[in-house]
Homo-oligomer: A and B are copies of this chain.
């Protein structure tokens, strides 16, 4: 049965196959996530990419959910954290959150997954630490800053998911929304039909910036300056 000239699945097939490791698994999973999204990210698919069986992954990773947490950690870790500057804190908040949003968008589905069970890892804490510091540098009160960090998180996740949707079918979605709004009977939906243009106005970037500014303005209004 042994055929020396054509060994089945020999290690020589692939150039210097790296040994299995937690990092190799994370890297393989990230590649799949980036190219095909969360739906395609199965333990079996990751294992296949590493030329092994799904069961082998469990030595290094505590199941799929733990893998997702590791991926989220890695992704959040790539976001550059500005050192709080009271003069430019507001723009720093914008760039921090836009950076997080973009990192999430690059890995379709991870934002939604992270929302369902939010990771409390050190990397996530580092980002929260930074965001809180920026808000406090802006003169926002302690309790307000803490709650505002939460509000802003919601906006980041929401913007990421929305952007992912538009990326998969950029024109299709926009057109669909427009027609849906236009098709509505004006008698029953007077407000929507008369505001259809405003509802679809602005790209992701613009709307995101607006949302952050509205939240910051709102919380600043209750901080005696």
Contact = CB atoms under 8 A, between A and B. Distances in A.
Contacts of A217: 217-218, 221-222
Indicate how many identical chains form the complex: 2
A146 B199 contact: yes
Interface in A161-209: 161, 165, 176-177, 180, 184, 188-192, 195, 198-199, 201-202, 207
A93 to B, nearest CB: 14
Interface residues of A, number: 55
Nearest to A194: B142
Contacts of A202: 147
* Binding site secondary structure of chain A: helix
Interface stretch (A53-61, A69-77, A96-104, A109-117): A109-117
A192 B145 CA distance: 11
B147 A192 contact: no
18 contacts: A112-B112, A112-B116, A115-B158, A117-B165, A120-B177, A125-B180, A125-B192, A129-B188, A132-B191, A143-B201, A150-B211, A151-B155, A151-B211, A151-B215, A154-B154, A154-B158, A214-B218, A218-B221
